[in-house]
Amino acid sequence: MKIAYVLNTYPQPSHSFIRREVLALERQGFEISRFAMRRSAAELVDRQDQVEAEKTDYILDRGALGLVFGLVRSALRRPGAFWQGAKTAFRCGRASPTGVLRHVIYLAEAVDVVQRAKSAEIEHLHAHFGTNAATVAMLAHVLGGPEYSFTIHGPEEFDAPAALSLGSKLDRAKFAVGVSQFGRSQLSRWAKFESWKHLQVVHCGIEPHAFAVTQPMSESTLHLVSIGRFVEQKGQMVLIHALARLRNTHPHIHLTLVGDGEMRADLEQAIAKLDLSKMVTLTGWLDEAGVRAALGAAHVLVMPSFAEGLPMVVMEAMAAARPVIATYIAGTPELVVDGETGWLVPAGDAQALAIAIERAEHTPRSELDQMGQKGRLRVLERHDIDREATKLATHFRANINDRLPPSSPV
């Protein structure tokens, strides 16, 4: 069975969950083509990402002239389908702040995807995220390409569903996936009721063998780690201010910030201004082995996000037998059980976050270890990538064969 994944930028350091899903499907016998619009601007430090980049076809590598030529050829060869695609692109463009011109580019990308899919005998398209990749997949189908499905992660899709024409994408799709029950509930807000039976839950997953051995928890002063892009929604600035509240009473607590992004300079400035240089280390991006090492060296992961889908790093921390301090948002409570596998706090509340960190510091390391072990059992049971890929494979097979998969409960 031949599936093409339609993606915006692939691979990316923060999107390793897509790579794991693709490889798991290939282990189950699917032939997966990777169609990405563009290459990552971020350095690919993980060899697995580098290998994926070599396997990926990049649509924008054709250049503007190549894409324009494809548009003209499509209009001449299949004017009816092209007109339907153009109408759909213009309708989506008028609803979006990015405008019609951007959606004409998406239409050109979709024309290219249709040609690649035809050449590779692709039976189905699957996109990740409900943004431009899903737009391209939808337009490709309208132009005469294969039927499509897509996975929603959030929070971007939940922030601007109308601007993304999310309802149209859902209603045209063979099926759509939320990575949590919360995510599926949000899709139900924008899909027609008769489309609800096509909305499924397939979790992002981890590879259990990568966490077969966990590092013992040290008896040292509390060591925190926070991993993610340095952007507003990840909430690292709140974490820095929470740590500042503990500077005088708990000066030996240490925080390792793993990641990078547009807010790095702001974070570095805040760390210096709040006199936290001895308490905070910034590492930049790490490969998967480096992330596992950072988790193993820490006692607790802190995830102070304002908005999320279902955070992969929380799954990885739990698989590494580490408790998690996270915010009570989106699908996170489906992962972290407050008081059992970690602590949940209100998003944006530096004081509540500081209290949770202080509570972790005062918790005996043996109890932290027990919390981590409970979290490990929970995530290995619920987020094994091969098990989750089997769910997705079931939906692919059923829909490609024009049968509906078992309905999720309403």
CATH number of 75's domain: 3.40.50.2000
185 shares its domain with 256:
no
263 shares its domain with 285:
yes
40-72 pLDDT, tens digit each = 988 888 899 999 999 999 999 999 999 999 999
SS3 annotation, the chain:
CEEEEEEEECCCHHHHHHHHHHHHHHHCCCEEEEEEEECCCCCCCCHHHHHHHHHEEEHHHHHHHHHHHHHHHHHHHCHHHHHHHHHHHHHHHHHCCCHHHHHHHHHHHHHHHHHHHHHCCCCEEEEECCCHHHHHHHHHHHCCCCCEEEEECCCHHHHCCCCCCHHHHHHHCCEEEECCHHHHHHHHCCCCHHHHHHEEECCCCECHHHHCCCCCCCCCCCEEEEECCCCHHHCHHHHHHHHHHCCCCCCCCEEEEECCCCCHHHHHHHHHHCCCCCCEEEEECCCHHHHHHHHHHCCEEEECCCCCCCCHHHHHHHHCCCCEEEECCCCHHHCCCECCCEEEECCCCHHHHHHHHHHHHHCCHHHHHHHHHHHHHHHHHHCEHHHHHHHHHHHHHHHHCCCCCCCCCC
150-205 pLDDT, tens digit each = 999 999 999 999 999 999 999 999 999 999 999 999 999 999 999 999 999 999 99
9 shares its domain with 123:
yes
> For residue 113, what are the domain limits?
2-205+385-400
- In the predicted structure, residue 270 carries a pLDDT above the cut 80: yes
Spatial CB neighbours of 133, under 8 Å, sequence gap ≥ 6: 6, 7, 8, 37, 127, 150
Average pLDDT, the chain: 95
Residue 98 pLDDT class (50, 70, 90 cuts): very high
306-318 pLDDT, tens digit each = 999 888 999 999 9
Residue 408 in domain: no
| Rounded distance between C-alpha atoms, residue 343 and residue 340, angstroms | 8
Q: Is the pTM of this model over 0.75?
A: yes
- In the predicted structure, residue 291 carries a pLDDT above the cut 60: yes
CB-count burial class (<10 Å; 0-12, 13-18, 19+) for 121: exposed
283 shares its domain with 396:
no
274 shares its domain with 167:
no
Contact yes or no for 133/37 (Cβ under 8 A)? yes
Residue 221 in domain: yes
Residue 48 in domain: yes
362 shares its domain with 390:
no
Residue 80 in domain: yes
Q: Among 293, 382, 291, 309, which Cα is nearest to 341's?
A: 382
- In the predicted structure, residue 403 carries a pLDDT above the cut 50: no
Spatial CB neighbours of 402, under 8 Å, sequence gap ≥ 6: none
* For residues 221-249, average pLDDT: 97
What pLDDT shows up at residue 42?
A: 82
The residue assigned the tokens 């921390």 is 317
Residue 15 in domain: yes
234-245 pLDDT, tens digit each = 999 999 999 999
Residue 402 pLDDT class (50, 70, 90 cuts): low
| Rounded distance between C-alpha atoms, residue 250 and residue 254, angstroms | 9
336 shares its domain with 219:
yes
Number of Cβ within 10 Å of residue 78's Cβ equals 16
| Rounded distance between C-alpha atoms, residue 384 and residue 141, angstroms | 31
Residue 349 in domain: yes
- In the predicted structure, residue 407 carries a pLDDT above the cut 60: no
246 shares its domain with 135:
no
Residue 406 in domain: no
98 shares its domain with 230:
no
Residue 153 in domain: yes
* For residues 272-293, average pLDDT: 94
| Rounded distance between C-alpha atoms, residue 408 and residue 410, angstroms | 6
131 shares its domain with 112:
yes
219 shares its domain with 231:
yes
217 shares its domain with 320:
yes
Q: How many domains does the chain have?
A: 2
